[in-house]
């Protein structure tokens, strides 16, 4: 069972994915992996520590918030984390609130981060 299907099986639970392979598989399936990869490419090989973010409402059972950490001095501090908020447990507004809190916890301002609100008409 792939990560996308695993989320469907766990539709009533929030899930955090910190395994890079699983995170990339899910993000590729949602068509948003390239948005994070492009941030790393644009920053260059010797980028200062950076956090790139993207959101998606394209999964049938979860709202997705993905983070790519790169430019950290220790390799273990680089990589992907994906928070999957169950649609059964969260309204779009609640998911937005959780995402904004996560963005702030990384020392970023939500208005400066590259994300869009789950309730955006773009979805």
Residue 66 belongs to a domain: yes
Residue 110 belongs to a domain: no
Residue 52 belongs to a domain: yes
In sequence order, the 6+-apart residues with CB closer than 8 A to the CB of 16 are: 81, 82, 83, 84
pLDDT greater than 70 at residue 18: yes
Residue 99 belongs to a domain: yes
Residue 117 belongs to a domain: no
Q: Residue 120 has what pLDDT? A: 41
Q: What is the pTM of this model?
A: 0.82
pLDDT single digits (tens) 21-51: 999 999 999 988 988 877 766 666 556 777 7
Task: State which residues form the domain around 47.
Answer: 3-105
Total domains present in the chain: 1
Residue 93 belongs to a domain: yes
Number of neighbours of residue 16 by Cβ within 10 angstroms: 10
């Amino acid at each position: 069972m792939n990560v996308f299907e695993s989320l469907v099986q766990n539709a009533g639970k929030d899930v955090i994915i910190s395994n890079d392979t699983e995170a990339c598989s899910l993000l590729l399936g949602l068509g948003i992996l390239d948005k994070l990869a492009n941030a790393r490419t644009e920053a260059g090989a010797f980028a200062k520590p950076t956090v790139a973010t993207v959101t998606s409402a394209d999964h049938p059972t979860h709202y997705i918030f993905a983070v790519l950490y790169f430019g950290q001095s220790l390799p273990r501090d680089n990589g992907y984390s994906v928070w999957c908020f169950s649609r059964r447990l969260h309204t779009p507004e609640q998911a937005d609130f959780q995402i904004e809190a996560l963005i702030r916890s990384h020392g970023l301002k939500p208005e400066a981060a590259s994300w869009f609100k789950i309730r955006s008409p773009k979805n």
